[in-house]
Structure 1
Amino acid sequence: MDTREIQKLIDFISKSDLSEVNIETSELKLQIKRNGNSPVQYVAAPVFEAVAPQNETVAAPVREAVAAAPVETVASTSHLIEIKAPMIGTFYRSGGPGKPNFVEVGDEIASGKVICILEAMKLFNEIESEISGKIVKILVDDATPVEYDQPLFLVDPS
């Protein structure tokens, strides 16, 4: 996929109702997301760095996005458990403005502990953990919309 094809795809998505597109080939993994009315954002990363050498005809922003994209190994996160959104809503890390967050990275959580709030139609639903462990990563920014079954947290159960 060359730069012109990527730009055409971005233009198409910005004019459509699509909110996310993922394309994966043997040489490239392309993820394009739009959050609400914000501009389209994209990340292009080689699937295997040795297989996809840098091409000088690629535009500088794409080349920089490819170079800056983190490469995570499956083995390092295979033991982690995802806590997923049980419903559609807006994700909140705390009980209100000025209040402390329910959990931070590194916190130990137990089954039944409130870890976030999902607000849907002006109803604020406290989400409790169903597992015990240590919060490794928070995958969603505060006050952002989430979809059903979207991963919210990564937890190390050990």
Structure 2
Amino acid sequence: MDIKEIQSLIKFVAKSGASEVKLEMEDIKITIRTGSSSPNPETTIVQQIPMASAPMAQAPAPAAEPVAPATPATAAEDNAKYITIKSPIIGTFYRKPAPDKPAFVEVGQEINTGDVLCVIEAMKLFNDIESEVSGKIVKILADDSSPVEFDQPLFLVDPS
């Protein structure tokens, strides 16, 4: 995909009224967000994806209705008191060490620094993801056996 195709896609999304469109192909991922309150109404993020990653879905229909977050101020205030543990790598997120084993952590469980929270498989290697904080797991933000991106939120932890 060349720059002219990307520019025409941005124009098409802006005219369609969609608030966000994601286009994922074998070697490229594009996210276009429009209608923000910033002075620049269009944001384009182009990210190369390693060839070893799982096959990606085709682009969603650009004419999708904009999604309005429910009470964004309340959600932001609630999440502000929590620490977000994010994925350090791209890969497949697993909550259990093996299919027949129990999950590493559950919602409400107390964790300490160094506890294994999950495993992320990248290029046939299983990487233990350890906690860098102590606290209580408030929410698990990724689904088991789902692909995760670098810096994607995985867990919310209450440090108190």
Give the structure-2-normalised TM-score. Answer: 0.65
The 1:102–1:24 alpha-carbon spacing in structure 2 relative to 1, beyond 3 Å, is farther
Moved over 6 A (4+): none
Alignment of 1:1-158 (within 5 A): 5-6=16-17, 10=21, 13=23, 17-26=28-37, 36-37=56-57, 40=60, 62=65, 65-66=67-68, 69-73=69-73, 74-158=76-160
* 1:37 aligned partner, one-letter code: A
The 1:122–1:129 alpha-carbon spacing in structure 2 relative to 1, beyond 3 Å, is same
* Secondary structure of residue in 2 paired with 1:90: strand
Gaps of 5+ in 1: 43-58
C-alpha separation between the residues in 2 aligned to 1:20 and 1:150? 15
Gaps of 5+ in 2: 1-12, 43-54
1:51 maps to: none
How far the C-alpha of 1:18 sits from its partner, in A, is 3.1
How far the C-alpha of 1:3 sits from its partner, in A, is 9.9
* 2:60 aligned partner, one-letter code: V
C-alpha separation between the residues in 1 aligned to 2:23 and 2:58? 12
**What is the CA RMSD across the aligned residues, in angstroms?**
3.5
Whether the aligned pair in 2 keeps the contact of 1:14 and 1:40 (CA below 8 Å) is: no
The 1:21–1:76 alpha-carbon spacing in structure 2 relative to 1, beyond 3 Å, is same
Q: Sequence identity of aligned pairs in percent?
A: 45
How far the C-alpha of 1:123 sits from its partner, in A, is 0.8
C-alpha separation between the residues in 1 aligned to 2:24 and 2:114? 41
How far the C-alpha of 1:109 sits from its partner, in A, is 0.7
